[in-house]
Structure 1
Amino acid sequence: MLGILRPGPYVDIHAVLDARAVTPVFQPLVRIETGDIIGYEALSRGPAGTPWESPAALFAAARQVGRDAELDWVCRAQAYRAALEARLAPPLTLFVNMEPAAWRAGCPADLLPLLGEAQQRLRVVTEMTERAIAADPSALLAATASCRASGWGVALDDVGADPMSLALMPFVHPDVVKLDMQLLRRPSDPYTAQVVGAVLAYAERTGATILAEGIETEEHLAVARSMGAAFGQGWYFGRPVALPARFRPVAEPLRLVQVADPLPQQATRRDAATPFEIVSAARPLTRTTKELLMPISRYLEAKADEGPEPPVLLACFQDERHFTPATARRFSEMAAHAPFIAALAVNLPAEPAPGVRGTRLADDDPLRDEWNVIVVGPHYAAALVARDLGDDGPDRERRFEYAITHDRPLVLQAARSLLHWLNPTTQTGVPATVSRAA
């Protein structure tokens, strides 16, 4: 049973949400080579003729009253409802948008039957944006793991809209990469070439599919082809409307490669091994002093300050005192143009240096004894993982057992593990507090 949409009146945003009064519209996704429709993206609208009709106003109002995660679930559920009622069955694919923070909130009880039926009858690709990993990386990784556990695909949306998307693409590991529409309008821009080059490299390495958004003209279509896009979306193919009464047969469906690393990805921080545990299980360990590890650490940190495509930098410092004023200056300078830099330590503040994401560790946290420096970019990956042996005496003579790896899957596994420790941020960018079991 799919349920019944309760009518208005809609006196405020609470009434809209209580009535689940969201209407989905659908834009076709087309195989560029043949023009065949292989699926649809669901887009949401609020009640017509109300202040919440536009999706921007709808989500802004829900956010103001703290019900944006619930709205996110409602939008997806109503898309599932419409697709099920229209019998949009495999091999056609339904694309839906998701804010990973909604995963942390959990699906409302009244929508669970729809979700269950969708998992049984629909072929779904869930779209994430690069904004999500910066806001709530743990929820993003958990949400993508949940999608893949259901046999659904994952897409990274608006790639190129923000330089962060290139560096964060390896963490999402999407089956589908959606090129932002602005790339089609600036094909000669050096930044466009940078984005397209990184996406093509990723697609070649993983088998992922490239889809170009915002195709409106023959010229846009030609540019999309030149960028390696096999699929397209935009007004050239059709505007968002209700699903058709009948669907044309699909000769060749969108391929979901279920991109994944050889090593498993933990779903939550509860399940996450530490970076040292992950790397040391696969690489031999060496013992040395802090003084001799410092040059290696500095070398890897400096990678976040190199080249036109700076990587993500994640670092553990054990205790706040090791994040020295000199370190703060260095990290702040890198953060001015690096897409994402995070530091973790006992007693570390939320922003230990301008632009640096801080996470405070508890005294008994498993990371308390680890010194980790992990660097992940579109074309480079490396990790230094070290564990304190507990020596007394001068700080520089403290001994560590450590390993270094440049094996990309292993580095990514360590980096994803560390991302589970980062607290989500609020709308103001201030980290929120979550439990250790988040």
Structure 2
Amino acid sequence: MGVDGDFDERFSSLISVFQPIVDSRTGLVVAHEALTRWPAFPDTSPDQIFDIARTMGIAEELDRRCIASAVAAAAQFTPADHPPRTLFVNIEAEAISSENSSTSARRLSELLRGGGSQVRPVAEFAERSLLTDPARLLRSADRLRRDGIIIALDDVGADPDSMVVLPLLAPEVIKLDRSLLDDDLTGDKLATLLAVLAYASRFDVALIAEGIETERQKEKAIAWGAAYGQGFHLGRPAPLDASQTSSFPVQPRPPVTRPLTEILDDRATDTTSISVLASISDHLLDFATATAEALTIVIAFPEPDMCSADMARTLRRLARKHPYVKALDAPRALFTATDGVRHADLVQPSERIGAIAVIGQRFYCALVARPLDPNGPASPSNQWRYFLTVDPAQVCTAAHTLIVNSTSPTDPGTSGWLG
């Protein structure tokens, strides 16, 4: 299919079909995933159509139409006296790519909730979006959760690097990449699968196994702990009818909304000097240098001059080793677009907060601190209030809060390498 003048008219003639998501043990349908088809292009995949739409600059509009069509069809075939239908809707990156776009988080929420009380929407993001612009993705997820929308992550396990950012999004639902059901799992794939299973167990995540095409794959998915399944063996994509679905017992998590200053006020009970805090931070960075485990590292400097040239070199080395290293409120001149460090500024710097959060598949640690007198002159003798935690939920909350309050790649005044 080429890019030509009548593409707009042809892609407008889209239809929504729905693939069932099934309780693997009972066989009952608990939800549907909305998929889009274009009758004018029967041999062209949706991914190819979206690629062409991107070249034409109309991917946002295309995504909006797909969402609206799916939600309207789901509402139409869900009788008012039936429980709401749980509907998984794929969200393209363009839907959250611009704060001012028609499909910003606010507009996206309105589209997803367009089915009223008859449709219970689940926003399904692709795993690859985790590392593209985590700040905007996390902010969007917080907004959707405030509106009662569940977050799902698709194709989990396809990219092992995304695993270290997964806890920051904290999806309520994980869809396992179909490759994780292969009989010939490589060592790396098995390690990824076990990490996903451990994460899902620790954070109470619903698991859906995708690509189930045989009874053996279904049984294997159940054995691994995936309560739900999706694939041709369980049901092919088709138009909806008015059949009632069973309950999908998942609720949206509370959004992360508290500023780090409030979290610090609640948890900080001790004080110490900046030299002690710097020593602990150095220990965490030394661990990150030595470990073979892939990590997310987020560090915020209470003053730009606290990020020395030596510290910048350390962060650049870590960025060559780990998939996500972010430095907040550090001197921009110390980093470049090619060194791998995601430099950004805190949108609302809060009383000289300093923090470091390190997250792996098995390791969680965060240190958050600020001076007792935030408005006083900087001095090595100053005392700082702080808390240090290895609780996974608290560490993820600290990192999440730092990231969502930082600039994004397309924000005004940034260089396109901040994320």
Calculate the TM-score normalised by the size of structure 1: 0.79
Superposed displacement of residue 312, structure 1: 1.1
Taking the TM superposition and a 5 Å limit, the aligned residue runs for 1:396-435 are 400-425=384-409, 431=416
- Helix, strand or coil: the match of 2:165? helix
Q: 1:143 to 1:128 in 2, by over 3 A?
A: same
- Asked if structure 1 preserves the Cα contact closer than 8 Å seen for 2:346 and 2:406, the reply is no
Q: CA deviation at 1:162?
A: 1.0
Cα separation, partners in 2 of 1:334 and 1:107, compared to 1, 3 Å = closer
Give the drift of 1:372.
1.3
Secondary structure class of the residue paired with 1:158: strand
Q: In structure 2, which of residues 64, 67, 91 is the aligned counterpart of residue 76 of structure 1?
A: 67
Please say if 1:341 is aligned against 2:325: yes
Q: In the TM superposition, what is the alpha-carbon distance from 1:415 to its structure 2 partner? A: 1.3
**Cα separation, partners in 2 of 1:116 and 1:37, compared to 1, 3 Å:** closer
2:263 to 268, 278, 291: 278
Q: Aligned pair in 2 of structure 1 residues 416, 42: CA closer, same or farther (>3 Å)? A: same
Once residues 285 and 39 of structure 1 are traced to their aligned partners in structure 2, the CA distance between those partners, rounded to angstroms, is: 49
CA distance in 2, matches of 1:24, 1:49: 14
1:373 aligns with 2:365: no
Query: Partner letter of residue 45 of structure 2?
Result: S
Residues 397, 202 of structure 1: alpha-carbon distance in 2 compared, 3 angstrom cutoff: same
Cα distance change, pair 310–281 in 1 and its aligned pair in 2 (3 A)? same
| Contact 1:186/1:192 (8 A) holds in 2 | no
**Structure 1 residues 358 and 15, CA gap change in structure 2 (3 angstroms):** farther
1:35 aligns with 2:27: yes
Report what 2:367 is aligned to: 384
Supply the distance in 2 between the matched residues of 1:138 and 1:313 (Cα, whole angstroms). Answer: 14
Q: Helix, strand or coil: the match of 1:178? A: strand
- Within-5 A mapping of 1:287-306: 287-289=272-274, 291-305=275-289
Inter-partner Cα distance in structure 2 for 1:430 and 1:219: 50
| Cα pair 2:342 2:417 within 8 Å, conserved | no
Q: How far 1:286 sits from its partner (Å)? A: 0.8
Q: Distance in 2 between matches of 1:111 and 1:360?
A: 26
1:87 Cα deviation from its structure 2 partner: 2.5
Distance 1:235-1:338 versus aligned 2 partners, 3 A rule: same
1:401-422, Cα deviation, whole Å (9 max, x unpaired): 4332223333222211111133
Higher mean Cα deviation, 305-314 or 39-48?
305-314
SS of the equivalent of 1:30 reads strand
Residue-by-residue CA offset, 1:378-415 (whole Å, 9 max, x unaligned): 3332211222554456xx66764433222333322221
Give the Cα–Cα distance (whole angstroms) in 1 for the partners of residues 408 and 83 of structure 2: 35
Please report the RMSD computed on the Cα atoms of aligned residues, expressed in angstroms.
3.4
CA shift for structure 1 position 280: 3.2
Secondary structure of 2:202's partner? helix
Kept after mapping to 1: 8 A contact 2:307/2:330: no
Residue 132 of structure 2: aligned partner: 135
12, 15, 30: which one aligns with 1:23 = 15
Equivalent-residue separation in structure 2 for 1:137 and 1:114 (angstroms): 22
Contact 1:144 1:154 (8 Å CA) reproduced: yes
Of all paired residues, the percent bearing the same amino acid is 33
Match of 1:85 among 76, 89, 106: 76
Q: Does 1:207 pair with 2:200?
A: no
1:238 has 2:235 as partner = yes
CA distance in 2, matches of 1:281, 1:423: 26
Matched, 1:327 2:321: no
1:80-136, Cα deviation, whole Å (9 max, x unpaired): 122122327635421111146524434499999865541422022211233333223
- Corresponding letter in the other structure for 1:76: I
Does structure 2 conserve the Cα–Cα contact (< 8 Å) formed by 1:392 and 1:398?
A: yes
Alignment-derived partner of residue 175 in structure 1? 172
Q: C-alpha deviations, 1:50-96, integer Å up to 9, x for none?
A: 99x53222222332343333332222111112212232763542111
Structure 1 range deviating more: 317-326 or 128-137: 317-326
Instruction: Find the partner of 1:54 among 45, 59, 64.
Output: 45
2:266 and 2:117 map into 1 onto residues whose CA distance is 38
The number of residues matched between the two structures is 403
Gaps of at least 5 residues in structure 2 are none
Contact conserved, 2:300 with 2:330, CA < 8 A, in 1? Answer: no
Q: Deviations over 1:286-325 (max 9, x none)?
A: 1303x33222001222343465542311011345554334
Q: Are the aligned partners of 2:130 and 2:137 in contact in 1 as well (CA < 8 Å)?
A: yes
Indicate whether 1:94 and 2:113 are aligned: no
Question: Contact 1:101–1:139 at 8 Å: present in 2 too?
Answer: no
Q: CA deviation at 1:346?
A: 4.9
Please state if 1:357 is matched with 2:349: no
The match for 1:145 among 142, 146, 168 is: 142
Q: 1:276 to 1:90 in 2, by over 3 A?
A: same
Cα distance in 2 for partners of 1:177, 1:15 equals 35
Shift of 1:160: 0.6
Q: Normalised by the size of structure 2, how large is the TM-score?
A: 0.83
Question: Given residue 38 of structure 1, which amino acid in structure 2 is its aligned partner?
Answer: V
Distance 2:108 2:395 in 1: 38
Aligned equivalents of 1:23, 1:423: Cα separation in 2: 37
Q: Deviations over 1:319-373 (max 9, x none)?
A: 55543343233223322342311111254257477221111458xx515823211
Deviation larger for 71-80 or 276-285: 276-285
The CA distance in 1 between the partners of 2:140 and 2:146, in whole Å, is 10
Q: Name which of 5, 20, 36 aligns with 1:11.
A: 5
Structure 1 residue runs of 5 or longer lacking an equivalent are 1-9, 267-271
Alignment check: 8 A CA contact 1:30 1:36 kept: yes
Distance in 1 separating the partners of 2:219 and 2:123: 27
